[in-house]
Amino acid sequence: MNRPERFRPPSVDEILRSGEGALAIARHGRSETTQAVRQVLERMRQSETSHSASAETIARMALDVLEERGRPSQRPVINLTGTVLHTNLGRALLAEEAIEAVVTAMRAPTNLEYEIEAGQRGERDAHVRGLIRELTGAEDAVLVNNNASAVLLVLNTLARDREAIVSRGELIEIGGAFRMPDIMGRAGAILREVGTTNRTHLKDYAEAIGPETGLLLKVHTSNYVVQGFTAEVEPAELAKLARTHDLPFVDDLGSGTLIDLARWGLRHEKTVQDALKGGADLVTFSGDKLLGGPQAGIVAGRKDLIARLARNPLKRALRLDKLRLAALEATLRLYRDPDRLAERLPTLRLFTRKAAELRALAERLRPQVAAALGAGWEVETIDCASQIGSGALPLETLPSAGLAIAPAGKASGGAVEALAAAFRAVPVPVIGRIAQGALVLDLRCLEDEALFAAQLAALTPGGGDGLA
């Protein structure tokens, strides 16, 4: 019986001196390359088969290891899910003006907390506070790192160890089992529920007010809608009741928007301006949802209350860094020119794409996808319905178009799941959704047609019975 030839590899030094070894060193440094070479050699020694690999081959294997190890964990993807503001995919895309502002802030020191004219320490929120006042009509504003933080800061400042009165029908839960009652508890506020799940009246709030009341809170149920036999109290009525008892009235808008989306044919969503005109003392909202900017939480409203929030030690723990402040300032500036907003703000641009445009795109891409997949798959142009996402306008859908890919003929149950995985495995992962036995690629968020087409060359599909 012949035994496999014993593996006698080139020396580590010989591998490092090879052409591929020199390339690996140039890209990743000698120390990391040496470690990767030894890792490859050890793996080959432990293999039960015989080996006769050259120094170049081993160096190339080590370079592959290094390239995989050096790939960033957070990578660009192509969002074809049909959800524009997809929380798992980073929500709003930034406008070019915001991206340029971030790059500028990254490359040099900035006057983040420095007043250049006075030559003294400044306050970082000042960079966007004036814009928020201008665009919303608020007396003042304060910035934190997301809307949950904004609510946390408000409750901790105004209702710590006191009662925050809120309708039972507004005790929302958002993604990741994150619940409003939990945030209130962490803020040190005492939850005082009033009304029922589907009906709450002004008298419910009035009867709950007492010596321990800290504020009245209205939470916009942006990620669901209760229909049927329902009743809720209008913000103006709550504002009047709060003023009668000298209490702050806080309106948590969640997603928040600074402009009436009905202008572009979408359903009207209460704006920050609406909330302030409705009598809210403070309004909390997000920067990275309908606003179309970076992740941020914004509190706008009464100057005296904002001053109290700014003095809370929690504010420092929740503050924005210079990059997000730069992006937010640039995004807010775009709202000064509402006539061009849909062209310049990616979120609004994606919302307003026409179904006919998307269907034409689908027709152009369909033969390319069909050719890449082969005879085992059927590719069809379909009409579909996109959604806003991130808990905003939950019943609003956007007429869209895309591609539905299904196995030709009879196929195993895992074929479509395997195809979805193959699309995720290309260099720039393509993320679709599975519906009714097909992989659906909703094209609403696809603006770089060439980038998507380039990924098809790396797709490795098999027939309808699975993937190769």
* pLDDT confidence of residue 104: 97
* pLDDT confidence of residue 46: 85
**What confidence tens digit (pLDDT) does each residue in 148-173 have?**
999 999 999 999 999 999 998 877 66
Give the C-alpha separation, 53 to 88, whole Å: 43
- DSSP designation for 89: G
* pLDDT confidence of residue 314: 96
* pLDDT confidence of residue 1: 45
Confidence label for 468 from pLDDT (cuts 50, 70 and 90): very low
Residue 233 confidence (pLDDT) above 70: yes
Phi, psi of 143 (to 5 degrees): -120, 140
Angle at CA 250, nearest 5°, toward 244 and 252?
Answer: 150
Average pLDDT over residues 254-281: 92
* pLDDT confidence of residue 276: 97
**What confidence tens digit (pLDDT) does each residue in 22-58 have?**
999 999 999 999 999 999 999 988 886 556 789 999 9
Residue 223 confidence (pLDDT) above 90: no
Give the count of beta carbons closer than 10 Å to the beta carbon of residue 237: 15
Residue pair 281/302 in contact by the 8 Å Cβ criterion:
yes
Average pLDDT over residues 226-237: 74
Average pLDDT over residues 286-294: 95
Q: What is the mean pLDDT of the chain?
A: 90
Question: What is the share, in percent, of the chain residues with pLDDT greater than 90?
Answer: 75
Q: Which of 239, 51, 248, 66 is nearest to 164 (CA)?
A: 248
pTM: 0.88
Long-range contacts of 310-318 (CB under 8 A, 24+ apart): 310/125, 310/142, 312/153, 312/156, 312/157, 314/152, 314/153, 314/156, 314/157, 315/142, 315/144, 315/153, 318/144, 318/145, 318/149, 318/152, 318/153
**What confidence tens digit (pLDDT) does each residue in 3-27 have?**
555 667 899 999 999 999 999 999 9
What are 58's two structure tokens? 């081993």
**What confidence tens digit (pLDDT) does each residue in 380-406 have?**
999 999 999 876 666 678 999 999 999
Q: Give the residue, 161 or 268, on which the prediction is more confident.
A: 161
For 74, half-sphere exposure in the C-beta direction (CA atoms, 13 angstrom radius) is 3
* pLDDT confidence of residue 66: 95
For 178, half-sphere exposure in the C-beta direction (CA atoms, 13 angstrom radius) is 11
Average pLDDT over residues 342-352: 96
Question: What is the share, in percent, of the chain residues with pLDDT greater than 70?
Answer: 90
